[in-house]
């Protein structure tokens, strides 16, 4: 591990690794490039007074999990438990936990926040100062951001939620209790990441009524960002991708679409909207190179990130427009059109979700049927079938959007 060799490990406000009980559980483990394994591992128990232990009912595979699957994120160890989106039942709590109790059904935030630092107090939860032990991130980025479940030791090395049980630090802030019985686990698990991340994208881009909006990427995050944009009054909302089933999903919710394999997004948008779009959102991220230039340079390790989609966003947005970067970026990229960004007077904002900030607002919209994200859920697998589920999701076949992993629960 790079940060261990360089002595970059930092102190955190909670233990990144749990104490284990004598019991065992099944979990999805990182096994190397394009390899996940389901194995029996020790079950966690309450480790700190602010902890809860959750019996996981459902988890899901995120597009960002595919970065791990392709071994594209540094500081992954074989045997790390994957997953940062889950819903479950509280089975144990620490002595300082006050807002949840045993037996409660809860959604777990993908972001691990302490709730007490300066950034948490301003509801910028993914910028938490105290939950990430990675000095490598601090060394690479200048500061470190919040810890995440199941997302490498670059974000703290916390075991993830694609397992039968999960230890949740700072449970009062990182668990959302659910009293509404009518909401299924399939819908609730989307509150861990997809729903607040896509809402956050709209907030970053300041999407509002009658704005012309472009969304690059028609995965679950991109499609839900488009759905929120429509709900906020944007028109038109244009989704750019190449996968026919995903473009059809975008059209089914009221979006216009551009297939970048058969059409040039810049040409189409410039001809249709000569002034450009009011706001655009990059939901693609670093790993998907469209041009041979970025494909070669990433292969040769001359850059870590492709910015083909982000570059198109910069060219397609109007002068003075807004760009939100919600797709994951990792390190550095070549050929960035910084001149266009500066001279056009663009506002560019990015960052991980402020999950806890948006939870209650989104939950209210789910309960009142203002929004229905069920169109995202296309496949179900048991936890034991995780390898097959990852392969399907990675290959983007069979109309796959969101894959739910149902944990194989056992009697207490």
Task: Give the ranges where 274-385 is alpha helix by DSSP (H).
Answer: 292-299, 308-316, 338-343, 355-367
Claim to verify: residue 332 and residue 202 sit in the same structural domain: yes
CA distance 409 to 213: 43
pLDDT at 193 over 60: yes
In a domain, 412, yes or no: no
The distance of Cα 248 from the centroid of its chain, to the nearest Å, equals 23
State how far the Cα of 139 lies from the Cα of 120, in Å rounded to an integer.
Answer: 22
- pLDDT of amino acid 288: 87
Q: Are 268 and 370 in the same domain?
A: no
- Per-residue pLDDT for 135 more than 60? yes
* HSE-CB for 184 with a 13 A CA cutoff: 8
| 335 exposure class (CB count in 10 Å sphere: 0-12, 13-18, 19+) | middle
Q: Examine residue 322 and state whether it is found in any structural domain, yes or no.
A: yes
* Residues 294-303: tens digit of each pLDDT: 999 989 989 9
Q: Is the pTM of this model over 0.85?
A: yes
Q: Is residue 103 within 8 Å of residue 89, measured between CB atoms?
A: yes
Co-location of 307 and 185 in the same domain: no
> Which pLDDT score, from 0 to 100, does residue 13 have?
80
Report yes or no on 411 lying in a domain.
Answer: no
Same domain, 45 and 124: yes
Q: Is residue 20 included in any domain, yes or no? A: yes
Of 350, 367, 384, which marks where a domain is finished? 350
Q: Is the model's pLDDT at 3 over the cut of 90? A: no
Domain membership of residue 204 (yes or no) is yes
Residue 9 has pLDDT above 70, yes or no: no
CA dist list (Å): 356 to 113, 175, 297: 9, 9, 38
In terms of domains, do 211 and 299 share one?
A: yes
Q: Domain boundary residue among 315, 332, 350? A: 350
159 with 12, same domain?
A: yes
Do 330 and 304 contact (CB within 8 A), yes or no?
yes
Q: Does a structural domain hold residue 369? A: yes
Structural domains in the chain (count): 2
Q: Is residue 265 part of a domain?
A: yes
What pLDDT is stored for residue 21 in this prediction? 87
Same domain, 340 and 359: no
Domain shared by 172 and 290, yes or no: no
Q: Quick one: 114 and 55 in the same domain?
A: yes
Q: Which domain holds residue 10?
A: 2-193+354-406
Question: How does residue 7 score in pLDDT terms, banded at 50, 70 and 90?
Answer: low
Q: Of 294, 293, 309, 297, nearest to 218 (Cα)?
A: 309
Same domain, 202 and 135: no
Which of these three, 350, 366, 381, is where a domain ends?
350
First vs last Cα of the chain: how many Å apart?
37
Q: What percentage of the chain reaches a pLDDT higher than 70? A: 96
CATH of the domain at 70: 3.90.180.10
Alpha carbons 241 and 182: distance in angstroms, whole number? 34
pLDDT in tens, 346-403: 999 999 999 999 999 999 999 999 999 999 999 999 999 999 999 999 999 999 999 9
Same domain, 82 and 180: yes
**E-strand spans in 61-104?**
86-93
CATH number where 205 lies: 3.40.50.720
Looking at per-residue pLDDT, the higher value among 38 and 287 belongs to 38
| pLDDT at residue 412, as a whole number | 43
CB 160 within 8 A of CB 150: yes
What CA–CA distance (Å, rounded) separates 286 from 350?
Answer: 13
Average pLDDT over residues 29-52: 98
Give the separation between CA 312 and CA 270, rounded to whole angstroms: 12
- Please indicate, yes or no, whether residues 18 and 150 belong to a single structural domain of this protein: yes
- Tell me the average pLDDT of the chain: 95
The CA distance from 241 to 79, in Å, is: 34
């Amino acid at each position: 591990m790079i940060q261990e060799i360089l002595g970059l490990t930092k102190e955190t406000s909670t233990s990144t690794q749990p104490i284990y009980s004598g019991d065992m559980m099944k979990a999805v483990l990182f096994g190397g490039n394009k390899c996940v394994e389901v194995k029996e591992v020790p079950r966690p128990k309450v480790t700190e007074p602010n902890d809860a232990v959750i019996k996981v009912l459902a988890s899901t595979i995120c597009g960002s999990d595919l970065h791990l699957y392709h071994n594209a994120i540094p500081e992954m160890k074989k045997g790390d438990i994957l997953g940062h989106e889950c819903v479950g039942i509280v089975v144990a709590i620490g002595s300082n936990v006050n807002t949840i109790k045993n037996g409660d059904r809860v959604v777990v935030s993908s972001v691990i926040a302490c709730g007490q630092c300066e950034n948490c107090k301003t509801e910028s939860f993914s910028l938490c100062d105290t939950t990430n032990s990675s000095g490598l991130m601090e060394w690479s980025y200048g500061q470190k951001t919040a810890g995440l479940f199941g997302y490498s030791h670059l974000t703290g090395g916390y075991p993830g939620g694609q397992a039968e049980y999960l230890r949740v630090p700072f449970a009062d802030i990182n668990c959302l209790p659910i009293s509404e019985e009518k909401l299924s686990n399939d819908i609730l698990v989307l509150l861990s990441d997809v729903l607040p991340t896509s809402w956050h994208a709209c907030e970053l881009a300041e999407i509002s009524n009658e704005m012309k909006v472009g969304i690059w990427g028609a995965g679950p995050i991109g499609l839900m960002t488009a759905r929120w944009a429509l709900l906020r009054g944007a028109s038109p909302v244009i989704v750019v991708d190449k996968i026919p089933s995903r473009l059809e999903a975008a059209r089914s919710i009221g979006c216009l679409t551009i297939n970048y394999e058969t059409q040039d997004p810049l040409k189409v948008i410039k001809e249709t909207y000569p002034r450009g779009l009011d706001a655009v959102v990059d939901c693609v991220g670093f790993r998907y190179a469209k041009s041979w230039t970025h494909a070669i340079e990433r292969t040769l390790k001359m850059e870590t990130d492709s910015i083909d989609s982000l570059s198109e966003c910069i060219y397609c947005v109007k002068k003075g427009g807004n760009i939100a970067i919600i797709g994951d970026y990792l390190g550095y990229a070549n050929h960035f059109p910084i001149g266009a960004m500066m001279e056009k007077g663009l506002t560019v904002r990015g960052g991980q979700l402020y999950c806890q900030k948006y939870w209650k607002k989104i939950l209210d919209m789910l309960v009142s049927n203002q929004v229905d994200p069920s169109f995202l859920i296309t496949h179900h697998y048991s936890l034991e079938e995780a390898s097959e589920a990852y392969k399907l999701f990675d290959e983007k076949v069979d109309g796959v959007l969101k894959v739910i992993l149902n944990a194989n629960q056992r009697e207490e």
